Amino acid sequence: MGFPTKAEEMEPAGYKLNGFGTCRGCGEKMEWYISPRGKKIPMNVMPNPSSPAVAHWTTCKESPLFRDKAKPQEEKRPEPARSVTPASNRWRDEG
């Protein structure tokens, strides 16, 4: 048995409805479930017991948001070249 396929299979499988939310990526409404392992899972809204149980990230148009963790961090910030002389050095050569 893997992941539940219908809304009515969620609770028997140990998934508990935790609340409702909205996807930050696409703005769709979601239902938050807690998995048997205590993980939060955003599910597509299931209005009926026979509604398909689909994790939101599988249908989200902005699903790359959910994949961020898997991405290697490629973003590099080039250090700006600094040629600023600290003001305190200006007077040291005197004397």
Q: Within 50-79, which residues bind Zn ion (CB under 5 A)?
A: 60
Pick between residue 68 and residue 94 the one whose CB is nearest to Zn ion: 68
Among 8, 25, 32, 34, binds Zn ion (CB under 5 A): 25
The answer to whether residue 26 forms part of the interface with Zn ion (CB under 5 A) is yes
What burial class does residue 51 get, using C-beta atoms within 10 Å of its C-beta: 0-12 exposed, 13-18 middle, 19+ buried? middle
Pick between residue 13 and residue 26 the one whose CB is nearest to Zn ion: 26
The answer to whether residue 21 forms part of the interface with Zn ion (CB under 5 A) is no
* Site of interaction with Zn ion (CB under 5 A): 23, 25-26, 28, 60
